[in-house]
Amino acid sequence: EGRLILIAEDNPVNQKVALLQLTTLGFNGHAVANGQEAVDAIMSGTYDLVLMDCQMPEMDGFQATKTIRMGETQTGGRVPIIAMTAHAMDGDRERCISAGMDDYISKPVDAKKLQKVLNKWLKKSGEIERISLSSMPKKDPLGDEEVPQHTISEDPINIARLQRTCGNDVAKETLEVYVS
């Protein structure tokens, strides 16, 4: 009965993180590696929502969204499309919205922010409200304090932040994908 969410993301590590976060939140996910695959998946499948990376090979998220929206004018349906992008500069949200996307979430995707966006766009009679993130660590698992924001970009992989953001199991699986 879980909702099916399409993840359009070209980076395999980011795909794995998103799929694991969705599983943790009680959703089913399916990942594709570029915008054309996202368009094809939307045309051939039933998805409740799309998490769309903006920069992908072959067809970027902006063009994929425009193509999906053009197809929806013929079918009459509309799937929520949420931009997932590492760009968090002024004007990026507006660019995503003007391309036909419904909302915007910046990377790295925090599970609590993801839950909030999913609640907003998938809520039907309160059924999504039951999802709980109580299993997610609130503090840095390696110490008693939150990791200061300035340390996040200092190391190529901030394991403490990954564990705090995603939980230990998701962090372990993500690191395994990254190393491989």
pLDDT digits (tens, 9 = 90+) for 131-163: 334 444 444 444 444 444 444 445 567 777 767
Report d(CA 162, CA 152) in Å as an integer.
10
**pLDDT tens-digit map of 28-66:** 999 999 999 999 999 887 899 999 999 898 899 999 999
Sole residue written with tokens 């395994």: 176
pLDDT single digits (tens) 61-87:
999 999 999 999 888 889 999 999 876
The pTM (predicted TM-score) of the whole model is 0.71
Backbone angles phi, psi at 32, to 5 degrees: -125, 160
Q: Is 95 left (phi over 0), alpha (psi -120 to 50) or beta?
A: alpha
Higher pLDDT, 164 or 127: 164
76 Cβ partners below 8 Å, 6+ apart? none
The pLDDT assigned to 75 comes to 81
